Amino acid sequence: MPYLFTSESVSEGHPDKLADQISDALVDHFLAFDPDAKVACETLVTTGQVVLAGEVKSSVYLDVQKIAREVIRKVGYTKSDYMFDANSCGILSAIHEQSPDINRGVERQDKEEQGAGDQGLMFGYAVNETEDYMPLPIYLAHLLLKELSAIRREGEVMKYLRPDAKSQVTIAYDNRKPVRIDTIVVSTQHDEFDTDERMAARIRKDVLEILIPRVKSKLSPEVQQLFTDQITYHINPTGKFVIGGPHGDTGLTGRKIIVDTYGGKGAHGGGAFSGKDPSKVDRSGAYATRHIAKNMVAAGLCDEVLVQVSYAIGVARPCGFFVNTFGTAKVPLSDEEIAARIIELFDMRPYAIEQRLKLRNPIYQETASYGHMGRKPQTVVKKFYSPDRGVLEREVELFTWEKLDYVDLIKEAFKLPK
């Protein structure tokens, strides 16, 4: 049955994503110096102002203003014309100590019985539409803005670009398979032009002749074929986008949770990720279920799958574990039977998840723009600074939940061909 499905993305300069990146930079710095830190921090950004708030239990002292300014500078807010500038914006910190009532439910003498940092439900999803096992609409929406950001940073063409941007992609499906791209929306912040008419024409021309070819070049031949002359393009449809970023719209941590996951495909439990250490199962549970879902599809167990886990605060073992293969399973088992075998392969207690996915490392700032899922696992060296402990370099592994390291175990458990 044919239908249209739409997903959106936002750039690292979008005010909500800027807030996410600041919050996750703080998480990373706490974890770099104190791997047992408990962090839940929120950021608000608006015209010329940043507000940091939240709860922390840690032995390290950080210069949170310095960390926030470095993030803002890296994103590209470095000019007074933007009405939000890394060097001059005011930064207020209202971070305080974590509630002992919460902490008592998390820490245990036996680390393996560490309780969940909150109640809640988390979902993981995977589908074989792309090489990263992500839904095609969000995959393309992210890629459009990654390339737009790369063009801005290179500074060779489209020199009028500013940091804030949004994209949206509508895909036509038939039989649950993508058959064509119906609509692409790109809205990018830009410098002033001499006339609005020249501005609109120039940006449209550059998006179609510079951005779209760069995006297509990074896609498989199958996806490239979906770019036809029949696509409807809406490029800066309001006609002007000079005022943007925190000056144009207040930004808050955790307001782009659908952009962070699957673009509305599958499901979302409702909890945000950024600003939270991995004892918060909103984050670690979502990563663990994505890891399970991706390995299930990659193993050939199914073409599409949604995995849910749920927790009670202070309790280690999940309240529930659910699998939906949408009728695409390749084995003669019910989804309930599949779930029972999968939970035997993956220990879903919070401490086990932290250990399996190496989540007590400072790996989170990179997750805070262009999605937490569908990214490439990689090892990088990162630098951190504390006034009382100096500079620290750490080699860390990013996006561990995207590794296909359980494929063979799943194949063996379900007697799938190797």
Binding residues for L-methionine: 55, 98, 249, 280
Residue with tokens 């207690």: 349
Please answer whether residues 289 and 122 qualify as being in contact, where contact means their C-beta atoms are separated by less than 8 angstroms: yes
- φ/ψ region of 275 (left if φ > 0, alpha if ψ in -120 to 50, else beta) reads left
Residue numbering of the annotated binding site for Mg(2+): 16
Closest residue by Cα to residue 414 from 304, 316, 338, 323? 338
For 199, phi then psi, to 5°, come to: -60, -50
Question: What sign for the dihedral angle of Cα 210, 215, 218, 219?
Answer: negative
Residue numbering of the annotated binding site for ATP: 14, 164-166, 240-241, 249, 255-256, 272, 276
SS3 assignment, position 36: coil
Residue numbering of the annotated binding site for K(+): 42
Token pair in block for residue 295: 């390995």
SS3 assignment, position 190: strand
Helix ranges (H only) for 85-126 are 100-106
Token pair in block for residue 91: 């930064």
Radius of gyration (C-alpha) of the chain in whole angstroms: 22
Rounded-to-integer distance, Cα 258 and Cα 146, Å: 17
The 10 Å Cβ neighbour count of residue 97 is 11
Rounded-to-integer distance, Cα 327 and Cα 329, Å: 6
Residue numbering of the annotated binding site: 14, 16, 42, 55, 98, 164-166, 240-241, 249, 255-256, 272, 276, 280
